[in-house]
Amino acid sequence: MTLRHPDPAAAGPHASDLHASGPRPPDPHPLDPLTAEEITAARRVLGEAGKVGTATRFPLVLLDEPDRRTAAAHRAGDPVTRRLRVTLLDAATGVTAEAVVDVTAGALLSYRELDAASEGQAAITFEEYGIVDEVVKADPGWRKAMAERGVTAPEALALAVCAPLSAGALAAETDGRPGRRLLRSLTWLRCTPDDSAWAHPVGGLAVDVDVVERRVVRITDTGPVPVPAECGRYEAEFTGPARTDLRPLEITQPEGPSFTLDGHRLSWQNWSFRVDFNAREGLVLHRIAYRDGDRERSVLHRASLAEMAVAYGEAEESRNWVAFLDAGEYSLGRSTNALRLGCDCLGEIRYLDAVLADDLGAPRTLPNAVCVHEEDAGLLWKHTDSFHGDAVESRRARRLVVSFIATVGNYDYGFYWYFHQDGSIGFEAKSTGIVQTAAVPPGAGSPHGTEVAPGLLAPYHQHLFCVRLDAAVDGPANTVEEVDVVPLPAGPGNPAGNAFTARTTPITAAGDGGRLADPALGRRWQITNPAARNRMGRPVAYTLVPQPGPVLLARPGSAVARRMAYGTKHLWVTRHRTDRRYPAGDHPNQHPGGAGLPSWAVGDESLENTELTLWHTFGPTHLPRPEEWPVMPVDHSGFTLRPTGFFDRNPALDLPRESGGGHCHGQGS
């Protein structure tokens, strides 16, 4: 990952200057993002070991991250050993293997073929998108089904979109060959090459493709449904005259931004952390710390969006399997956008490029993968002292934003980490793009979706984001407590009936680590360090404050519920292990289910005063509205991490009075 400044010629008068020399090459760090040289070296080592042939594909090439102690002990100038975890797929046989390569020593450390039936398949490659489209369109059964729907013209068939959708566990169960590498395809039509295909779904038709044998192995056809005819164009030329009453809004920082980047280490106000990016999760933040006086105090060792499920709620046979794991099956990082100033990001921006491996294991640079900027965040604190002549003290808030945007099929997702001056951290997922669609008879509607245009159904579904938080609150040894707000019973201790209190329950064992939020109790989870005390003698802590919605609604025992079991709880707490990386397991594509969190959150493994990982699940249960067609306004979800006795008083007291750019004055009446 490398630092990029916006191009001033393209961005306008308030973009940053482009420094031709670029940043000083930093000392290498064990948590640095992958470089092109490292990706090339890994492929070379595997080739020399005889593990790469003409049919070899590289679904994932990732850093094999060092353990916490190694990362914490590193000092500038120390030697760094870099290891890569590589997933290989033989496109001719379907065999998937995992390898660990030491690119520092140029050595293959391990190589193991997977049992696809029990361990799952490699992530979907970009090459397979084209294979599915080609195979489906050439299949006589699909062409017959399309003819029965009145689609026979060669030009109409050529404009069809046969989407490569993950098959889940259901396909393996009903196919009789659970190790077979499958993708499923639904079909959408377009009127012209630049038409929105999502406006014209072909109902009742699903096609299973063996992408190794490159042939259709099964067609599910529940009967023709009229293809919706109305177009869903959302570009400016199709939506009528643009509004004319918007005046310019300028966001400027004439002296530049307040943050600094030293290699991959980002510092802003009292915050510091390392910025990373990988092909599976996208943006990863390491070693998040807050400077408190002369102390650098750790908060999180690692933070990332580790998985995201999109589970649909239709009962109809051709669509009742639709459920995706967008990070584990589609590689969220590889689906990331190249961001554009003024559109995706606004203000005094710094961009970071990402270096990822393509399907053939060659390095490719994704420009402007990560956006870094600071923005006004409203009022931070204020008081008008009526006992002191109505004297006013007020401070405006700023926050640092580190973000990326990924497109997976019809949906676009923006992911934003927010760092605040009061010591809190926020995370927000912004869902936009186009709702997935199905066809119904016009006016018929459905109990499982919303008819957003004549005959066009937007099915009900859930977005279940899961963030991985490796806790490090003032050190590695932490305990998590569940905090509920409860009324006290009437009696001598509550004579007026008005009293309530906070009830704290430590989460002490792995088997108790799966928790549900409860808004009626104001439930939140407190990450404490029993060995570090504040001036009141209480353990320092950070509190995870959720914004809960429904957990996974698929029935227990269903194929969807088995594969997406992490989504059945709002929080999981597990003992930290280097091999516990993803909540649905390492290879969720066609996995039969039960991997990841359900297998870790069992038994009596202690969760007290030790290294912990919190896995927080959140996100909207989406009942689409007509107002979300033909393109969806952003839907927001997220959570906050808030210091709770971590500081001895408000850590934002030292902000200058005119922090709002000279427009706010400290005194007045």
* Cβ–Cβ under 8 Å, residues 203 and 440: yes
Is the per-residue pLDDT at 170 higher than 90?
no
* Residue scoring higher pLDDT (206 or 660): 206
Is the per-residue pLDDT at 402 higher than 80?
yes
pLDDT in tens, 12-39: 333 332 232 334 346 899 999 999 999 9
Quick one: pLDDT at residue 482?
A: 98
Catalytic machinery residues: 326, 411
pLDDT averaged over every residue in the chain? 93
Is the per-residue pLDDT at 199 higher than 50?
yes
Determine the average pLDDT of the residues in 319-347: 93
pLDDT in tens, 355-372: 999 999 999 999 999 999
Quick one: pLDDT at residue 26?
A: 60
Q: Pairing mode, if any, of strands 449-453 and 271-278?
A: unpaired
Quick one: pLDDT at residue 540?
A: 98
Residue 248 CA from chain centroid, whole number:
33
Query: Cα separation of 36 and 14, whole Å?
Result: 32
Whether a cis peptide bond, with omega within 30° of 0, leads into 620 is: no
pTM: 0.94
Quick one: pLDDT at residue 17?
A: 29
Quick one: pLDDT at residue 1?
A: 62
Q: Count CB-CB contacts under 10 A for residue 181.
A: 24
Query: Cα separation of 455 and 444, whole Å?
Result: 8
Strand 500-507's sheet: what is its strand order? 3-4, 350-357, 363-385, 391-408, 411-420, 425-433, 632-643, 539-546, 524-533, 479-487, 500-507
Quick one: pLDDT at residue 174?
A: 66
Is the per-residue pLDDT at 2 higher than 80?
no
**What's the pLDDT band for 340 if we cut at 50, 70, 90?**
confident
Determine the average pLDDT of the residues in 461-479: 98
SS3 at position 322:
coil
Quick one: pLDDT at residue 669?
A: 34
**What's the pLDDT band for 173 if we cut at 50, 70, 90?**
low
Where are the strands (E) in 332-390, listed by range?
350-357, 363-385
pLDDT in tens, 530-574: 999 999 999 999 999 999 999 999 999 999 999 999 999 999 999
- Closest of 472, 474, 469 to residue 580, by C-alpha: 469
Q: Pairing mode, if any, of strands 56-63 and 83-90?
A: antiparallel
Determine the average pLDDT of the residues in 130-145: 98
**128 φ, ψ (degrees, to nearest 5):** -70, -20
- Closest of 439, 366, 448 to residue 407, by C-alpha: 366
Domains of the chain: 31-113 (3.10.450.40), 126-238 (3.10.450.40), 260-485+505-643 (2.70.98.20)
Q: Pairing mode, if any, of strands 205-210 and 524-533?
A: unpaired
Flag the least confident range among 14-18, 23-27, 373-377, 430-434. Answer: 14-18
Is the per-residue pLDDT at 593 higher than 90?
yes
Determine the average pLDDT of the residues in 498-502: 97
